[in-house]
Amino acid sequence: MKRTQRLSASDPASIRFAADIIRAGGLVAFPTETVYGLGCNALNHDAVARVFEAKQRPRFDPLIVHLADRSMLEAIVESMPPTAYRLMDVFWPGPLTLVLPKRAHVPDLVTAGLPTVAVRMPAHPAAQALIREAGVPIAAPSANPFGYVSPTCAQHVVDGLGDRVDVILDGGGIHHCRNDRYLAGTSSAGKRHAFRDPERHRTGNVHTGYAEHSRTRPTPPPLRNPHSDDYSGGSRNQTRGA
């Protein structure tokens, strides 16, 4: 029986090793600013299937794809509306998730067969380092069995998933809640080439007036990233994870 390797998320050698695992089709649990994620190469169908199997996650439930920088969008997103750029300017890196038309080579398993893909850029330095070192977008739901409480430390991942994970990058405890993670999003309204007005799918601590404002005015209102040093709002209640 294989044994999960638990490595320091602050060690560059561990990041390189975990990135090799991602590129080889393996699963890596890693810290984000909200919860620990269970990551794989988002463009590798077999690796994505392993995530669903490890979590016992139903295949009708799509995954979020995590990026290290905007240049990675080109590999997975077919088109970008101006509103999405304005939202990214304010809230990336951070827990804002955008839903955009996907490219054809993004596995349907990632998107549950939908023509759109959910993307975000995590703010946690270990998550950014892992994605950048792997050189591929990483699909990652929370690193827990489906329907269980989201993990906020490496031991939670061990307790929930055990040896179903190849590597756990231990970044210590996470103090933000899952409610911070799913925020205002944008949608193609089910049409691959017809992006419309921003549509809020699930709220969090991003001021939803931003998306509303962008429908009618070219300049968005000044807002703060929830993960900037001077932001203090938001609940800390833990919720059940997907």
Q: Mean of the per-residue pLDDT values for the chain?
A: 81
CA distances from 77 to 98, 225, 240 (A): 11, 23, 29
Domains of the chain: 5-214 (3.90.870.10)
Residue 199's pLDDT is 54
The tens digit of pLDDT for each residue in 160-218 reads 999 999 999 999 999 765 544 433 344 433 333 334 454 554 555 554 444 454 444 44
Pull the structure tokens for residue 117. 């893909």
Asked if pLDDT for residue 4 goes beyond 80, the answer is yes
The tens digit of pLDDT for each residue in 15-49 reads 999 999 999 999 999 999 999 999 999 999 999 99
* pTM > 0.95: yes or no: no
Collapsing DSSP to helix, strand or coil, 205 comes out as: coil
CA distances from 100 to 10, 123, 131, 223 (A): 32, 20, 20, 22
As a whole number of angstroms, the distance between CA 49 and CA 169 comes to 21
Query: Which is nearest to 33 in space by CA: 57, 9, 6?
Result: 9
The tens digit of pLDDT for each residue in 59-80 reads 999 999 999 999 999 999 999 8
